[in-house]
Amino acid sequence: MTIRLYNTLTKTKEDFAPLDARNVRLYVCGPTVYDFAHIGNARPAIVFDVLFRLLRHQFGDAHVTYVRNVTDVDDKINARAAERGVSIRELTEETARIYNEDVAALGCIAPTVAPRATEHIAEMIAMIQILIASGHAYEADGHVLFDVSSKDDYGKLARRSLDDMIAGARVEVAPYKKGAMDFVLWKPSDAATPGWDSPWGRGRPGWHIECSAMAGKYLGESFDIHGGGIDLMFPHHENEIAQSEGAHHGHPLAKVWMHNGFLQVEGEKMSKSAGNFFTIRELLADWPGEVLRFNMLRTHYRQPIDFTFAGLRESWKMLERWYEVTEPLSDPGPGAEFLAALADDLNTPAAIAALHQASEMELAGGLGFLGFSNVQMKISAKAKVDEVAIAEAIAARNAARKAKNFAESDRIRDDLLAQGIVLKDGPQGTTWEVRK
């Protein structure tokens, strides 16, 4: 089976040929652990979990290394810890633990390595020293900055010229910068801010250098696939490329770059001010993790996704129908059509479509392959019960029945059923219960 992946760097779909089939290497930017991860953060976790599973199927479990970092040094972390009156370590330990629990509930396999930035400061300092020595970085006013003008092909991932990037970017105006797009590799820390001793004084790393240093330690100067959300393509991934190639004699950081698309909620950009901001943990309190996962996979990873509650209910109903016809099977394999769809740039919608036509065994095998391990189990009803909304729905259904609008009556009944609410009609009227 040939795996084909869309490479953001070349803007083409390419046959995937690993640098070393005995050690296929994948790096994905992980969470910055200052707060609970939101549903948009769930998308790369799920997308690249499916890729991890596909690579392990193709090359063997022991021959794939998946690194997903944890950013636990960041100005947002410092501010949140001060706001809550807790230590940096206490905040990041708790938040990282919750993140791991949340993505596990979404069916994600733990990565091979999950390095923390604070445990790799020495590697970051060493890389910065190399960049200074090679003329790609400079020290100024207690800071160390990458000199973007030293990299002729800067902007090759975003496909934008330096002039265009300067014109369109919001860049920090600082007198110690040589160029407007130069970015921080190291910055000074005051007594109240976390810091480490370095050749440039007590300070802390910039965000971009963290990923380059950790990827280099665990995957080498060049590796196979670098993934993350499309929002990270510029400047984060662009800067990773610049500093990694600058420190490694021009060797490419990653052979293939993959980016998942943006996520909206109910057709709008997710934001707290719009009232449509949801953390993974909040949603898991109301919806089974497998439903959240399946709902994500119904959209191709490179396409924007509109995350809706109607979509969640539909995903729930679809999974339950499949769970009712599958049985525990010993190591069932997915079908050829299903695998071919996944091998075509992780085309999960096509893979799911193949499951609609699959045999019971292939259906169970496909669900298991996608991370739905308990295919013989029914989804437990977890949705919060809104008794007022249910009463209103029952009243609307009764009105529809009285008007002999049975299509509307059935729609309301099915909508409640998708939420785990079972209606029972009797001599005393309509009652309801939460489906077990």
pLDDT per residue over 354-382, tens digit each?
A: 999 988 888 989 999 999 875 555 666 55
Q: How confident is the model at residue 153 (pLDDT cuts 50, 70, 90)?
A: very high
Burial environment of residue 424 by CB neighbours within 10 A (0 to 12, 13 to 18, 19 or more): exposed
CA distance 200 to 183: 16
Quick check: 183 and 155 in contact, CB under 8 A?
no
**Helix count (H) and strand count (E) of the chain?**
15, 15
| Average pLDDT of the segment spanning 82-92 | 92
Minimum mean pLDDT range among 1-5, 72-76, 390-394? 390-394
Mean pLDDT (the chain, rounded):
91
How far is it, in rounded angstroms, from Cα 21 to Cα 90? 40
Q: Can you give the pLDDT at residue 331?
A: 58
Stretch 48-70: mean pLDDT, rounded? 98
Query: What's the CA gap between 233 and 212, in Å, rounded?
Result: 14
Q: Domain 309-380, what fold?
A: Four Helix Bundle (Hemerythrin (Met), subunit A) (1.20.120)
Structure-token match 């077990």, residue found: 436
pLDDT of residue 299: 98
In 314-436, the DSSP E strands lie at 421-426, 429-434
At 94-148, the pLDDT tens digits run 999 999 999 999 999 999 999 999 999 999 999 999 999 999 999 999 999 999 9
pTM score > 0.75 for this model? yes
Average pLDDT over residues 187-207: 94
- Terminal Cα-to-Cα distance of the chain (whole angstroms): 42
Say which amino acid occupies 184. V
Residue 167's pLDDT is 54
pLDDT per residue as tens digits for the range 276-299: 899 999 999 989 999 999 999 999
pLDDT in tens, 215-249: 999 999 999 999 999 999 999 999 999 999 999 99
Q: What single letter denotes the amino acid at residue 314? A: E
Structure tokens at 2: 């040939």
What pLDDT is recorded for position 377? 53
- What per-residue confidence (pLDDT) applies to 170? 57
Report whether 261 contacts 303 (CB < 8 A). Answer: yes
pLDDT of residue 36: 94
Tell me: pLDDT of 29 over 90.
Answer: yes
pLDDT band at 24 (very low <50, low <70, confident <90, very high): very high
Q: Which CATH architecture has domain 4-260?
A: 3-Layer(aba) Sandwich (3.40)
Is a pLDDT exceeding 90 seen at residue 253? Answer: yes
pLDDT band at 17 (very low <50, low <70, confident <90, very high): very high
24 to 46, 266, 346: CA distances (angstroms): 19, 38, 17
